Amino acid sequence: GDGMIQYESPAIKSVLGHEPEDTIGQYGIGLVHPDDMADITREFTYVRQNPGATISTEVRVRHTDGSWLTLEAVGKNLLHDPAVAGIVVNFRDITDRKLAEEVLRDSEERFKAIAEAIPIPVVISHRSDGTVLYANEHVAALHGVPPKEMIGRKTLDFYNDPDDRQVVLDTLRREGLLGHYEFRFKKMDGTPFWAIVTVQPIVFEGKQAFLSGFYDITDRKQAEEELQKHYDQEKDLRQQLEAEMKRRVEFTRALAHELKTPLTSVLASSDLLVSELSDEPVLSLARNIRQGASNLNSTIDEFLDLARGEIGMLQLKYESVDLVQLLRETVASMATLASERGQSLVHALSPHLPTIQADGARLQQVVTNLLGNAVKFTPRGGKITLRAKESNGTIMVEVQDTGRGIPKGGQERLFEPYQRLRMDGESLSGLGLGLSLCKTLVELHGGQIWVKSRVGRGSTFGFSLPLRAASQQTKEPEKVGKLWKVLIIEDDREIVDSISLTFHLRWPEAELVSTGLGEEGIEMVEDEDPDIVILDLGLPDIGGFEALRQIRLFSSVPIIILSVKEDEADMVKGLEWGADDYVVKPFRQIELLARLKAQLRKQTPPDEEVPIICGSLRLEPSTFQLTHGGKEISLTIVEGRIIECLMRNAGHVVTHSRLAEAVWGEDYPGAIDSLRVYIRYLRQKLEADPSHPKLILTKAGIGYSLVKPV
């Protein structure tokens, strides 16, 4: 009852450092820390006053070395027991535990202070069931709920797709301690939003937990969706345009065929008739027929050139051109016509015009057309002048006439196709294709065309050719990025154009070069080094079989014969002489394309020929032909290179830099954005739900990975 120590066990020395008998008869509370004196006095007073009562408390007690230890004290009043006249107290040293708790508490307080200071929503959740243990103030703006109301809730409630959390758990278990993930979440009111979540396993309040930081990317996702919407619209419009272009080309070819077929007979017959006749006026009539047929033939050619230019099939053949000589020859060819109309046709050319890189035939076509118009609309006694000069690295050519001029309103649409002027009630003849074709040809050279005119004072038509641009075009930039070069030796221009259009629509990775002569084709096999040759047997100079024989003397390039001859003997002869395949006209374009690709696959080296197989995906590396679950999928070159790299590294993350190098040969600024767009296109072609990809996964800030098949 007086608090004096009656007995201490020998174990007291291991705790407080003194011998048991050293404190017998001393006041027990005297060893307690002064700050704890009031609490322990109150506790022991209670015990003394209540026989059989028990207390459990923590108290700081002085060690003999002067240090303070934290002890867990359990006391019991045994005054009711005759064998024990006092209070029994058991002590357990918990100093280390209390120190660890203090350190942990300080650490968690510092963490909370940091978490509240940074402008990022932070959540700590129990690792096993996802119960929220902590949320900072910034969570309220993101999830729409105060931090205190989040504590105790399940993180699963905030995922738009509950399976997403399992993806996080599986990935962390498989790949390590830190992960960045892009998911769709939802606020408390159900409003969806997109965020990148960074997950880090930690220990919090003694529990295994996840530390999750969120970065809102809703605006970016909405922008991507809007971009995708515009892309889909552009894709639909492009497909419609391609279909319309195809219909237009087919119609143009059909029309040209229907016009040229009878015209060929008229031209041939009129030539023969003029050569056989000598008496007037029948000879004049025959000449008129020949001239009319020739004019009609020129108009059809203009019509076809314009149609090819509108769909990008009109190509220039660059060569070194002596401009002075070309212009002089063009003036000389038009001099007779101008003289017959009583006009003066002269040229004023600088003697120092440079040799330029241009398509000489097309350039002469432009000048001839401009001179022809000037002759046509200049009255008798008028003057037509052709000028050319170099100015600041640009060639400028002008045709000036003293005709009646063109009003302002008529000049605005003068270079548009099918535009004809009406003056003084007279409609200009022709379809209005000449100037439009001139504009197309000049712009293909990288130049510009214009007109200056005043009514009653004549007109000046001019065009420019940038020498630097013309020189650069000799590099034929359209060949950049082409994987295959196909040479077609065929004199039927319609067949060549048809195959060219098929390549443009179905096989843009291939470049088509052509010639209508067998001898020239043999030279092109050696000079152009094509990957495959399409050879017609009915050539105008030498037979197709002879061309085949000569090519096989020096080249093993794959050759596909194209012929109307369907006799078995001809097929056998072609194959025996070295052809790799034989296609009979008429043929289907898609079939020809398949045969070309098949021959190219045969020529691929063994290490590249083997297809890459990854689960349901099968890729032909040589042609980027992809099959997914038995369905063939068309890929662009870039898409093919991306999927090839991912398939070769299935199950592993391919970094942005490594993927860019595999696709473009280098990692350049903006490559990540480009890769993101192409990955989106691939997901649209491969994923059942592109917005929730299961095949091509994003490793935020790092790269992409293709799920490895089980």
Residue whose token pair is 């009583």: 342
Half-sphere exposure of 33 (CA within 13 A, CB side): 14
Residue 469: pLDDT band with limits 50, 70, 90: very low
Which uninterrupted H or E stretch holds 673?
Answer: helix 671-686
Residue 272: pLDDT above 90? Answer: no
* Residue 2 CA: distances (Å) to CA of 148, 290, 428, 700: 50, 144, 134, 72
**The predicted structure's pLDDT at residue 489:** 94
Q: Which tokens sit at 528?
A: 């152009």
**Burial (Cβ within 10 Å: 0-12, 13-18, ≥19) of residue 690:** middle
pLDDT in tens, 672-695: 877 887 898 889 889 888 888 999
pLDDT band at 603 (very low <50, low <70, confident <90, very high): low
CA distances from 393 to 180, 208, 243, 356 (A): 55, 74, 41, 11
Residue 318 has pLDDT above 80, yes or no: yes
Distance between CA atoms of residues 209 and 214, nearest Å = 16
List phi, psi (to 5°) of 332.
Answer: -60, -40
CA distances to 196, 596, 660, 681 from 670, rounded to whole Å, are: 21, 36, 10, 17
CA 491 distance to own-chain centroid? 38
Q: For residues 354 and 107, which has the higher predicted lDDT (pLDDT)?
A: 354
User: Where do the DSSP E strands lie in 104-249?
Assistant: 122-126, 132-135, 179-186, 192-204, 207-216
Alpha carbon of residue 686 to chain centroid: 16
Categorize the per-residue pLDDT at 475 as very low, low, confident or very high, splitting at 50, 70 and 90.
very low
In this structure, what token pair is assigned to residue 630? 């038995």
Enter the tokens of residue 282.
């029948």
The overall average pLDDT reported for the chain is 80
Distance CA 159, CA 634 (A): 35
Write out pLDDT tens, residues 387-441.
Answer: 998 877 889 999 999 988 888 877 777 887 666 655 544 444 455 678 888 888 8
Residue 461: predicted pLDDT: 94
pLDDT at 397: 93
> Residue 472 has what pLDDT?
43
Q: Mean pLDDT across the stretch 156-183?
A: 69
**Rg from Cα positions in the chain:** 45
pLDDT tens digit sequence for 551-598: 988 888 899 998 887 778 888 888 888 888 898 887 778 788 888 888
What residue type is assigned to position 661 of the chain?
Answer: E
Quote the CA–CA distance of 620 and 622 in Å, as a whole number.
Answer: 6
Q: Quickly count: other Cβ atoms within 10 Å of residue 27's Cβ.
A: 11
Listing DSSP states for 172-212 in one string gives: HHHH-S-EEEEEEEE-TTS-EEEEEEEEEEEEETTEEEEEE
Strands across the sheet with 510-515, in order?
510-515, 484-489, 532-536, 559-563, 581-584
